[in-house]
Protein backbone atom coordinates (compact mmCIF):
# COMPACT_ATOMS: atom_id res chain seq x y z
CA UNK A 1 0.00 0.00 0.00
CA UNK A 2 2.76 2.43 0.95
CA UNK A 3 4.73 1.57 -2.19
CA UNK A 4 1.67 2.18 -4.36
CA UNK A 5 1.11 5.52 -2.65
CA UNK A 6 4.63 6.77 -3.42
CA UNK A 7 4.24 5.69 -7.06
CA UNK A 8 1.56 8.35 -7.57
CA UNK A 9 2.62 11.56 -9.29
CA UNK A 10 0.31 13.45 -6.91
CA UNK A 11 2.64 12.62 -4.00
CA UNK A 12 5.61 14.10 -5.85
CA UNK A 13 3.63 17.24 -6.69
CA UNK A 14 2.45 17.64 -3.08
CA UNK A 15 5.89 17.25 -1.53
CA UNK A 16 7.44 19.58 -4.09
CA UNK A 17 4.85 22.27 -3.49
CA UNK A 18 5.19 22.16 0.31
CA UNK A 19 8.95 22.55 -0.07
CA UNK A 20 8.40 25.47 -2.45
CA UNK A 21 6.01 27.20 -0.04
CA UNK A 22 8.63 27.01 2.73
CA UNK A 23 11.29 28.39 0.37
CA UNK A 24 9.13 31.30 -0.84
CA UNK A 25 8.41 32.49 2.69
CA UNK A 26 12.07 32.16 3.73
CA UNK A 27 13.28 34.10 0.70
CA UNK A 28 10.73 36.89 1.07
CA UNK A 29 11.50 37.43 4.76
CA UNK A 30 15.26 37.30 4.13
CA UNK A 31 15.00 39.91 1.38
CA UNK A 32 12.93 42.15 3.62
CA UNK A 33 15.38 41.82 6.54
CA UNK A 34 18.41 42.51 4.36
CA UNK A 35 16.81 45.52 2.68
CA UNK A 36 15.63 47.01 5.97
CA UNK A 37 18.85 46.45 7.94
CA UNK A 38 20.22 49.94 7.21
CA UNK A 39 17.44 52.16 8.51
CA UNK A 40 13.86 52.16 9.78
CA UNK A 41 12.80 55.72 9.01
CA UNK A 42 9.74 56.46 6.90
CA UNK A 43 11.79 57.56 3.93
CA UNK A 44 14.03 54.52 4.06
CA UNK A 45 10.96 52.24 4.04
CA UNK A 46 10.16 53.50 0.57
CA UNK A 47 13.75 52.75 -0.43
CA UNK A 48 13.34 49.33 1.14
CA UNK A 49 10.28 48.63 -1.03
CA UNK A 50 12.19 49.78 -4.10
CA UNK A 51 15.13 47.50 -3.25
CA UNK A 52 12.82 44.50 -2.68
CA UNK A 53 10.96 45.05 -5.95
CA UNK A 54 14.25 45.50 -7.84
CA UNK A 55 15.58 42.23 -6.43
CA UNK A 56 12.45 40.28 -7.38
CA UNK A 57 12.36 41.83 -10.84
CA UNK A 58 15.85 40.47 -11.62
CA UNK A 59 15.18 37.20 -9.80
CA UNK A 60 11.93 36.48 -11.67
CA UNK A 61 13.55 37.44 -14.97
CA UNK A 62 16.34 34.89 -14.52
CA UNK A 63 13.99 32.26 -13.10
CA UNK A 64 11.56 32.43 -16.02
CA UNK A 65 13.82 33.01 -19.00
CA UNK A 66 16.58 30.44 -18.42
CA UNK A 67 14.30 27.33 -18.46
CA UNK A 68 13.32 28.05 -22.06
CA UNK A 69 16.80 27.13 -23.28
CA UNK A 70 16.70 23.67 -21.72
CA UNK A 71 13.05 22.62 -21.55
CA UNK A 72 12.68 21.52 -25.18
CA UNK A 73 15.83 19.39 -25.02
CA UNK A 74 14.66 17.80 -21.79
CA UNK A 75 11.19 17.12 -23.18
CA UNK A 76 12.63 15.49 -26.30
CA UNK A 77 14.87 13.31 -24.16
CA UNK A 78 11.85 12.34 -22.07
CA UNK A 79 9.91 11.37 -25.21
CA UNK A 80 12.72 9.13 -26.41
CA UNK A 81 13.69 7.47 -23.12
CA UNK A 82 11.57 8.01 -20.02
CA UNK A 83 9.08 10.58 -18.75
CA UNK A 84 10.82 10.44 -15.37
CA UNK A 85 13.77 12.37 -16.83
CA UNK A 86 11.63 15.48 -17.23
CA UNK A 87 10.65 15.19 -13.56
CA UNK A 88 13.72 14.26 -11.55
CA UNK A 89 16.22 16.41 -13.48
CA UNK A 90 14.34 19.65 -12.62
CA UNK A 91 13.85 18.35 -9.06
CA UNK A 92 17.61 17.86 -8.73
CA UNK A 93 18.06 21.46 -9.87
CA UNK A 94 15.51 22.60 -7.29
CA UNK A 95 17.36 20.78 -4.48
CA UNK A 96 20.79 22.12 -5.42
CA UNK A 97 19.76 25.70 -6.20
CA UNK A 98 17.41 26.27 -3.29
CA UNK A 99 19.76 24.71 -0.77
CA UNK A 100 21.98 27.72 -1.41
CA UNK A 101 19.47 29.92 0.41
CA UNK A 102 20.33 28.02 3.60
CA UNK A 103 24.00 28.95 3.17
CA UNK A 104 23.08 32.59 2.48
CA UNK A 105 21.21 32.65 5.79
CA UNK A 106 23.76 30.79 7.93
CA UNK A 107 26.96 32.32 6.54
CA UNK A 108 25.51 35.76 5.73
CA UNK A 109 26.45 35.61 2.07
CA UNK A 110 25.41 38.54 -0.15
CA UNK A 111 21.80 38.52 -1.29
CA UNK A 112 22.98 38.59 -4.90
CA UNK A 113 23.93 34.91 -4.56
CA UNK A 114 20.23 34.18 -5.00
CA UNK A 115 20.52 35.28 -8.63
CA UNK A 116 22.88 32.33 -9.15
CA UNK A 117 20.29 30.00 -7.60
CA UNK A 118 17.73 31.23 -10.14
CA UNK A 119 20.17 30.45 -12.97
CA UNK A 120 20.89 26.95 -11.65
CA UNK A 121 17.20 26.26 -11.25
CA UNK A 122 16.43 27.50 -14.75
CA UNK A 123 19.25 25.59 -16.45
CA UNK A 124 17.88 22.34 -15.00
CA UNK A 125 14.48 23.00 -16.59
CA UNK A 126 12.82 24.73 -13.65
CA UNK A 127 9.08 24.68 -13.18
CA UNK A 128 8.43 24.83 -16.93
CA UNK A 129 10.06 21.45 -17.58
CA UNK A 130 8.88 19.94 -14.29
CA UNK A 131 5.21 20.75 -14.82
CA UNK A 132 5.29 19.62 -18.45
CA UNK A 133 6.79 16.32 -17.28
CA UNK A 134 4.16 15.95 -14.55
CA UNK A 135 1.30 16.52 -17.00
CA UNK A 136 2.81 14.09 -19.51
CA UNK A 137 3.38 11.42 -16.85
CA UNK A 138 -0.17 11.80 -15.52
CA UNK A 139 -1.53 11.51 -19.06
CA UNK A 140 0.59 8.44 -19.76
CA UNK A 141 -0.68 6.66 -16.65
CA UNK A 142 -4.38 7.34 -17.10
CA UNK A 143 -7.07 6.21 -19.50
CA UNK A 144 -8.46 8.65 -22.03
CA UNK A 145 -11.85 8.62 -20.30
CA UNK A 146 -10.34 9.59 -16.93
CA UNK A 147 -7.60 11.89 -18.18
CA UNK A 148 -9.42 15.17 -17.55
CA UNK A 149 -10.24 14.19 -13.99
CA UNK A 150 -6.68 12.97 -13.40
CA UNK A 151 -5.08 16.20 -14.61
CA UNK A 152 -7.46 18.30 -12.54
CA UNK A 153 -6.69 16.11 -9.54
CA UNK A 154 -2.97 16.82 -9.98
CA UNK A 155 -3.62 20.58 -10.06
CA UNK A 156 -5.88 20.25 -7.01
CA UNK A 157 -3.05 18.48 -5.16
CA UNK A 158 -0.72 21.33 -6.13
CA UNK A 159 -3.08 23.90 -4.65
CA UNK A 160 -3.88 22.03 -1.43
CA UNK A 161 -0.20 21.30 -0.72
CA UNK A 162 0.71 24.93 -1.37
CA UNK A 163 -2.01 26.13 0.99
CA UNK A 164 -0.88 23.79 3.79
CA UNK A 165 2.78 24.71 3.29
CA UNK A 166 2.05 28.43 3.26
CA UNK A 167 -0.02 28.31 6.44
CA UNK A 168 2.68 26.33 8.26
CA UNK A 169 5.64 28.31 6.90
CA UNK A 170 4.98 31.49 8.87
CA UNK A 171 4.84 29.66 12.21
CA UNK A 172 7.92 27.53 11.42
CA UNK A 173 9.81 30.66 10.40
CA UNK A 174 9.29 32.15 13.88
CA UNK A 175 9.69 29.12 16.18
CA UNK A 176 12.28 27.03 14.31
CA UNK A 177 15.67 28.76 14.47
CA UNK A 178 19.25 27.58 13.99
CA UNK A 179 21.99 29.67 15.66
CA UNK A 180 19.50 32.51 16.07
CA UNK A 181 19.27 32.88 12.28
CA UNK A 182 15.66 33.44 11.31
CA UNK A 183 14.54 31.27 8.42
CA UNK A 184 17.35 28.71 8.69
CA UNK A 185 15.13 26.08 10.33
CA UNK A 186 12.41 26.63 7.75
CA UNK A 187 14.93 26.20 4.93
CA UNK A 188 16.26 22.97 6.47
CA UNK A 189 12.69 21.66 6.44
CA UNK A 190 12.29 22.81 2.84
CA UNK A 191 15.47 20.96 1.79
CA UNK A 192 14.23 17.81 3.53
CA UNK A 193 11.00 17.95 1.52
CA UNK A 194 12.91 18.58 -1.73
CA UNK A 195 15.07 15.52 -0.96
CA UNK A 196 11.98 13.38 -0.31
CA UNK A 197 10.48 14.62 -3.58
CA UNK A 198 13.59 13.65 -5.54
CA UNK A 199 13.74 10.21 -3.90
CA UNK A 200 10.05 9.55 -4.61
CA UNK A 201 10.39 10.61 -8.24
CA UNK A 202 13.50 8.50 -8.80
CA UNK A 203 12.50 5.35 -6.93
CA UNK A 204 8.73 5.53 -6.58
CA UNK A 205 7.45 6.59 -10.00
CA UNK A 206 7.12 3.82 -12.56
CA UNK A 207 7.37 4.72 -16.23
CA UNK A 208 4.71 3.66 -18.63
CA UNK A 209 5.44 0.19 -20.12
CA UNK A 210 4.75 1.56 -23.57
CA UNK A 211 6.99 4.55 -24.23
CA UNK A 212 6.26 6.87 -27.12
CA UNK A 213 8.35 6.19 -30.26
CA UNK A 214 10.86 8.87 -31.13
CA UNK A 215 8.93 9.73 -34.29
CA UNK A 216 5.87 10.93 -32.38
CA UNK A 217 5.09 14.58 -31.95
CA UNK A 218 5.82 15.49 -28.34
CA UNK A 219 3.17 15.35 -25.70
CA UNK A 220 0.36 15.47 -28.21
CA UNK A 221 0.85 11.80 -29.13
CA UNK A 222 0.79 10.28 -25.66
CA UNK A 223 -0.07 6.57 -25.65
CA UNK A 224 -3.24 5.74 -23.80
CA UNK A 225 -2.47 3.44 -20.90
CA UNK A 226 -5.95 2.60 -19.76
CA UNK A 227 -4.89 -0.65 -18.16
CA UNK A 228 -2.77 1.28 -15.62
CA UNK A 229 -5.87 2.93 -14.15
CA UNK A 230 -8.34 0.07 -14.51
CA UNK A 231 -11.96 0.42 -13.53
CA UNK A 232 -11.97 -3.02 -11.88
CA UNK A 233 -11.41 -1.53 -8.43
CA UNK A 234 -13.83 1.36 -8.87
CA UNK A 235 -17.12 1.46 -7.00
CA UNK A 236 -20.44 1.76 -8.87
CA UNK A 237 -20.73 5.35 -7.62
CA UNK A 238 -17.28 6.20 -9.09
CA UNK A 239 -18.20 4.66 -12.43
CA UNK A 240 -21.48 6.56 -12.47
CA UNK A 241 -19.67 9.79 -11.66
CA UNK A 242 -17.12 9.27 -14.43
CA UNK A 243 -19.93 8.52 -16.90
CA UNK A 244 -21.69 11.75 -15.97
CA UNK A 245 -18.43 13.73 -16.36
CA UNK A 246 -17.73 12.27 -19.81
CA UNK A 247 -21.31 12.92 -20.96
CA UNK A 248 -21.08 16.53 -19.80
CA UNK A 249 -17.79 16.98 -21.63
CA UNK A 250 -19.17 15.46 -24.86
CA UNK A 251 -22.28 17.61 -24.64
CA UNK A 252 -20.13 20.75 -24.95
CA UNK A 253 -18.51 19.72 -28.26
CA UNK A 254 -19.94 21.85 -31.10
CA UNK A 255 -22.61 20.15 -33.16
CA UNK A 256 -20.61 20.45 -36.37
CA UNK A 257 -17.99 18.06 -35.00
CA UNK A 258 -20.08 14.98 -35.73
CA UNK A 259 -17.76 13.45 -38.30
CA UNK A 260 -17.27 9.70 -38.17
CA UNK A 261 -14.64 8.69 -35.60
CA UNK A 262 -12.38 5.78 -36.35
CA UNK A 263 -9.40 4.22 -34.66
CA UNK A 264 -7.01 5.78 -37.15
CA UNK A 265 -8.69 9.18 -36.93
CA UNK A 266 -10.07 9.50 -33.43
CA UNK A 267 -11.24 13.06 -33.88
CA UNK A 268 -12.58 12.78 -37.39
CA UNK A 269 -11.71 15.05 -40.30
CA UNK A 270 -12.25 18.34 -38.54
CA UNK A 271 -10.93 21.50 -40.15
CA UNK A 272 -9.00 23.81 -37.87
CA UNK A 273 -10.34 27.29 -37.18
CA UNK A 274 -7.03 29.13 -37.02
CA UNK A 275 -8.73 32.43 -36.21
CA UNK A 276 -10.43 30.90 -33.17
CA UNK A 277 -7.13 29.47 -31.93
CA UNK A 278 -5.42 32.85 -32.44
CA UNK A 279 -8.19 34.52 -30.43
CA UNK A 280 -7.78 31.95 -27.65
CA UNK A 281 -4.04 32.67 -27.61
CA UNK A 282 -4.75 36.41 -27.40
CA UNK A 283 -7.20 35.89 -24.53
CA UNK A 284 -4.72 33.72 -22.64
CA UNK A 285 -1.89 36.24 -23.09
CA UNK A 286 -4.02 39.23 -22.00
CA UNK A 287 -5.34 37.40 -18.96
CA UNK A 288 -1.92 36.10 -17.96
CA UNK A 289 -0.45 39.59 -18.37
CA UNK A 290 -2.89 40.94 -15.79
CA UNK A 291 -2.61 37.97 -13.43
CA UNK A 292 1.20 37.73 -13.47
CA UNK A 293 1.69 41.46 -13.02
CA UNK A 294 -0.67 41.74 -10.08
CA UNK A 295 0.53 38.53 -8.43
CA UNK A 296 4.19 39.61 -8.53
CA UNK A 297 3.43 42.92 -6.78
CA UNK A 298 1.25 41.42 -4.02
CA UNK A 299 4.08 39.87 -1.90
CA UNK A 300 5.86 43.24 -1.77
CA UNK A 301 2.71 45.26 -1.19
CA UNK A 302 1.75 43.37 2.00
CA UNK A 303 5.11 44.11 3.65
CA UNK A 304 4.52 47.86 3.62
CA UNK A 305 1.98 50.09 5.32
CA UNK A 306 -0.97 49.95 5.55
CA UNK A 307 -0.79 46.15 5.98
CA UNK A 308 2.82 45.70 7.17
CA UNK A 309 2.53 41.92 7.61
CA UNK A 310 4.90 39.63 9.51
CA UNK A 311 5.89 36.09 8.50
CA UNK A 312 2.71 34.51 9.91
CA UNK A 313 0.39 36.78 7.96
CA UNK A 314 2.52 36.38 4.82
CA UNK A 315 1.97 32.62 5.13
CA UNK A 316 -1.78 33.09 5.52
CA UNK A 317 -1.86 35.41 2.53
CA UNK A 318 -0.02 32.90 0.36
CA UNK A 319 -2.39 30.16 1.56
CA UNK A 320 -5.41 32.09 0.28
CA UNK A 321 -3.76 32.19 -3.13
CA UNK A 322 -3.34 28.41 -3.16
CA UNK A 323 -6.91 27.92 -1.90
CA UNK A 324 -8.04 29.28 -5.27
CA UNK A 325 -6.88 25.97 -6.80
CA UNK A 326 -9.55 24.21 -4.73
CA UNK A 327 -12.35 26.68 -5.41
CA UNK A 328 -11.56 26.80 -9.14
CA UNK A 329 -11.61 22.99 -9.35
CA UNK A 330 -14.96 22.88 -7.55
CA UNK A 331 -16.23 25.61 -9.85
CA UNK A 332 -15.43 23.55 -12.94
CA UNK A 333 -17.09 20.45 -11.46
CA UNK A 334 -20.23 22.35 -10.44
CA UNK A 335 -20.75 24.63 -13.44
CA UNK A 336 -19.37 22.59 -16.36
CA UNK A 337 -22.70 20.79 -16.76
CA UNK A 338 -24.64 24.04 -17.06
CA UNK A 339 -22.22 26.44 -18.76
CA UNK A 340 -20.24 26.29 -21.98
CA UNK A 341 -16.46 26.43 -21.93
CA UNK A 342 -16.42 30.05 -23.07
CA UNK A 343 -18.86 30.99 -20.29
CA UNK A 344 -16.60 29.33 -17.72
CA UNK A 345 -13.63 31.32 -19.03
CA UNK A 346 -15.52 34.62 -18.81
CA UNK A 347 -16.69 33.76 -15.29
CA UNK A 348 -13.11 33.16 -14.17
CA UNK A 349 -11.82 36.35 -15.80
CA UNK A 350 -14.52 38.49 -14.20
CA UNK A 351 -13.83 36.81 -10.83
CA UNK A 352 -10.15 37.75 -10.92
CA UNK A 353 -10.69 41.22 -12.37
CA UNK A 354 -13.26 42.13 -9.71
CA UNK A 355 -11.09 40.80 -6.89
CA UNK A 356 -8.05 42.70 -8.11
CA UNK A 357 -10.13 45.89 -8.38
CA UNK A 358 -11.07 45.48 -4.71
CA UNK A 359 -7.39 44.89 -3.93
CA UNK A 360 -6.64 48.36 -5.29
CA UNK A 361 -8.52 49.85 -2.34
CA UNK A 362 -7.14 47.59 0.39
CA UNK A 363 -6.16 49.41 3.58
CA UNK A 364 -7.02 46.71 6.13
CA UNK A 365 -6.15 43.02 6.36
CA UNK A 366 -9.77 41.85 6.30
CA UNK A 367 -10.35 43.67 2.99
CA UNK A 368 -7.35 41.85 1.50
CA UNK A 369 -8.97 38.50 2.27
CA UNK A 370 -12.31 39.70 0.89
CA UNK A 371 -10.55 40.54 -2.39
CA UNK A 372 -8.94 37.10 -2.40
CA UNK A 373 -12.33 35.48 -1.74
CA UNK A 374 -13.81 37.22 -4.81
CA UNK A 375 -11.04 35.63 -6.93
CA UNK A 376 -12.30 32.09 -6.17
CA UNK A 377 -12.59 31.16 -9.88
CA UNK A 378 -9.42 32.90 -11.09
CA UNK A 379 -7.69 29.69 -12.21
CA UNK A 380 -10.52 28.44 -14.41
CA UNK A 381 -9.68 30.49 -17.56
CA UNK A 382 -6.23 29.13 -18.49
CA UNK A 383 -7.11 25.46 -17.97
CA UNK A 384 -10.36 25.87 -19.92
CA UNK A 385 -8.63 27.77 -22.73
CA UNK A 386 -6.35 24.75 -23.17
CA UNK A 387 -9.42 22.51 -23.18
CA UNK A 388 -11.10 24.58 -25.92
CA UNK A 389 -7.91 24.56 -28.02
CA UNK A 390 -7.65 20.76 -27.71
CA UNK A 391 -11.19 20.40 -29.05
CA UNK A 392 -10.33 22.37 -32.18
CA UNK A 393 -7.22 20.43 -33.23
CA UNK A 394 -6.11 16.86 -33.80
CA UNK A 395 -4.25 14.88 -31.16
CA UNK A 396 -0.99 15.04 -33.09
CA UNK A 397 -0.97 18.85 -32.81
CA UNK A 398 -1.35 19.05 -29.03
CA UNK A 399 2.35 19.21 -28.25
CA UNK A 400 3.21 21.85 -30.83
CA UNK A 401 0.33 24.25 -30.11
CA UNK A 402 0.53 23.86 -26.33
CA UNK A 403 4.28 24.49 -26.48
CA UNK A 404 3.69 27.71 -28.42
CA UNK A 405 1.11 28.77 -25.84
CA UNK A 406 3.45 27.99 -22.94
CA UNK A 407 6.27 30.00 -24.50
CA UNK A 408 3.93 32.95 -25.02
CA UNK A 409 2.76 32.75 -21.41
CA UNK A 410 6.34 32.54 -20.12
CA UNK A 411 7.41 35.60 -22.09
CA UNK A 412 4.24 37.37 -20.97
CA UNK A 413 5.11 36.61 -17.36
CA UNK A 414 8.58 38.11 -17.79
CA UNK A 415 7.21 41.27 -19.41
CA UNK A 416 4.48 41.60 -16.78
CA UNK A 417 6.88 41.14 -13.88
CA UNK A 418 9.33 43.74 -15.20
CA UNK A 419 6.67 46.29 -16.15
CA UNK A 420 4.50 46.01 -13.04
CA UNK A 421 7.41 46.10 -10.58
CA UNK A 422 8.78 49.21 -12.29
CA UNK A 423 5.34 50.82 -12.17
CA UNK A 424 5.06 49.93 -8.49
CA UNK A 425 8.42 51.57 -7.77
CA UNK A 426 7.31 54.74 -9.53
CA UNK A 427 3.88 55.00 -7.90
CA UNK A 428 4.34 53.61 -4.37
CA UNK A 429 4.73 57.10 -2.86
CA UNK A 430 1.41 58.51 -4.09
CA UNK A 431 -0.75 55.47 -5.03
CA UNK A 432 0.88 52.05 -4.48
CA UNK A 433 -2.26 50.20 -5.61
CA UNK A 434 -2.20 51.51 -9.18
CA UNK A 435 -0.72 48.17 -10.29
CA UNK A 436 -3.81 46.34 -9.06
CA UNK A 437 -6.14 48.67 -10.98
CA UNK A 438 -4.04 48.11 -14.10
CA UNK A 439 -4.05 44.34 -13.51
CA UNK A 440 -7.84 44.37 -13.21
CA UNK A 441 -8.30 46.30 -16.46
CA UNK A 442 -5.87 44.21 -18.54
CA UNK A 443 -7.22 40.85 -17.35
CA UNK A 444 -10.77 41.99 -18.11
CA UNK A 445 -9.75 42.76 -21.72
CA UNK A 446 -9.33 39.01 -22.22
CA UNK A 447 -13.13 38.71 -22.24
CA UNK A 448 -13.30 40.39 -25.67
CA UNK A 449 -11.53 37.66 -27.72
CA UNK A 450 -13.38 34.98 -25.72
CA UNK A 451 -16.73 36.48 -26.72
CA UNK A 452 -15.57 36.44 -30.34
CA UNK A 453 -14.60 32.77 -29.98
CA UNK A 454 -17.99 32.00 -28.45
CA UNK A 455 -19.68 33.55 -31.48
CA UNK A 456 -17.56 31.54 -33.90
CA UNK A 457 -18.24 28.27 -32.09
CA UNK A 458 -21.97 28.90 -31.79
CA UNK A 459 -22.33 29.82 -35.49
CA UNK A 460 -19.65 27.80 -37.33
CA UNK A 461 -21.46 28.01 -40.66
CA UNK A 462 -20.98 31.78 -40.68
CA UNK A 463 -17.20 31.37 -40.64
CA UNK A 464 -15.96 29.27 -43.62
CA UNK A 465 -12.58 28.61 -41.98
CA UNK A 466 -14.16 26.42 -39.34
Tell if the pTM clears 0.85, that is, is over it: no
pLDDT tens per residue across span 208-251:
554 444 444 433 333 333 334 444 444 444 444 444 444 444 44
- Close Cβ partners of 372 (under 8 Å, ≥ 6 residues apart): 317, 320, 321, 323, 324, 355
Whether residue 276 is found in the same domain as residue 200? no
Could you tell me if residue 246 is inside a domain?
Answer: no
Could you tell me if residue 219 is inside a domain?
Answer: no
Whether residue 308 is found in the same domain as residue 391? yes
Q: What is the pLDDT of residue 125?
A: 86
Among candidate residues 156, 183, 207, the one where a domain is terminated: 207
Whether residue 187 is found in the same domain as residue 277? no
Q: What is the pLDDT of residue 387?
A: 77
Measured CA distances, 440 to 279, 287, 295, 380 (Å): 20, 9, 11, 16
pLDDT higher for 146 or 104?
104
Whether residue 150 is found in the same domain as residue 46? yes
Q: What is the pLDDT of residue 312?
A: 86
Most confident of 253-267, 319-333, 444-458: 444-458
Choose the weakest-confidence range: 146-150, 316-320, 412-416: 146-150
pLDDT higher for 1 or 92?
92
pLDDT confidence tier of residue 207, bands split at 50, 70 and 90: low
Domain limits at 80?
A: 1-207
CATH number, domain with residue 12: 1.20.1250.20
Q: Based on the structure, what is the number of domains in the chain?
A: 2
Could you tell me if residue 463 is inside a domain?
Answer: no
Q: What is the pLDDT of residue 59?
A: 92
Mean pLDDT of 154-158: 86
CB neighbours of residue 443 within 10 Å: 30
Choose the weakest-confidence range: 188-202, 243-257, 343-357: 243-257
Among candidate residues 160, 186, 207, the one where a domain is terminated: 207
pLDDT higher for 216 or 89?
89
pLDDT higher for 192 or 39?
192
CB neighbours of residue 220 within 10 Å: 18
pLDDT confidence tier of residue 329, bands split at 50, 70 and 90: confident
Q: Is the pLDDT of residue 466 over 70?
A: no
Whether residue 193 is found in the same domain as residue 291? no
Whether residue 322 is found in the same domain as residue 444? yes
Whether residue 287 is found in the same domain as residue 366? yes
Return the percentage of the chain with pLDDT > 70, whole number: 77
pLDDT tens per residue across span 351-395:
999 999 999 999 999 999 999 999 999 988 987 887 788 777 765
Q: What is the pLDDT of residue 43?
A: 54
Find out whether 144 and 157 touch, Cβ atoms under 8 Å: no
Whether residue 41 is found in the same domain as residue 155? yes
Cis, bond preceding 196 (omega within 30 deg of 0):
no
pLDDT tens per residue across span 27-45:
999 998 888 875 555 456 7
Among candidate residues 207, 224, 258, the one where a domain is terminated: 207
Whether residue 54 is found in the same domain as residue 186? yes
Could you tell me if residue 311 is inside a domain?
Answer: yes
Could you tell me if residue 75 is inside a domain?
Answer: yes
Could you tell me if residue 259 is inside a domain?
Answer: no
Whether residue 275 is found in the same domain as residue 203? no
Could you tell me if residue 245 is inside a domain?
Answer: no
Whether residue 154 is found in the same domain as residue 296? no
In the predicted model, what is the mean pLDDT of the chain?
A: 79
Q: Is the pLDDT of residue 262 over 60?
A: no
pLDDT tens per residue across span 273-316:
788 899 999 999 999 999 999 998 998 899 888 888 888 898 88
Could you tell me if residue 450 is inside a domain?
Answer: yes
Whether residue 184 is found in the same domain as residue 326? no
Q: What is the pLDDT of residue 396?
A: 53
Amino acid sequence: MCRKLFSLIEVVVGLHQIAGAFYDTSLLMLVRDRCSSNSTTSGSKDQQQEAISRFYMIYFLLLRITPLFFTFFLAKLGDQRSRKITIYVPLLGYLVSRSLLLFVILFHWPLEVMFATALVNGLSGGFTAFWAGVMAFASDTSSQEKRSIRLNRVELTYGVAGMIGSMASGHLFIVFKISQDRGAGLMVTSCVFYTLTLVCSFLGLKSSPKQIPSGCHGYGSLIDQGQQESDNGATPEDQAGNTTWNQSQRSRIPDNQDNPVTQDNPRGDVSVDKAAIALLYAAGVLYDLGVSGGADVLPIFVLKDPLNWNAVWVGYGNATGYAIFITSFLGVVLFSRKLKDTSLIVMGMVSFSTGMLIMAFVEWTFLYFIARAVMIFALIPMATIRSVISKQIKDTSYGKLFAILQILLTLTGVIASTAFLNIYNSTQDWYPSVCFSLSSAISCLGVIPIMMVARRLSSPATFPGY
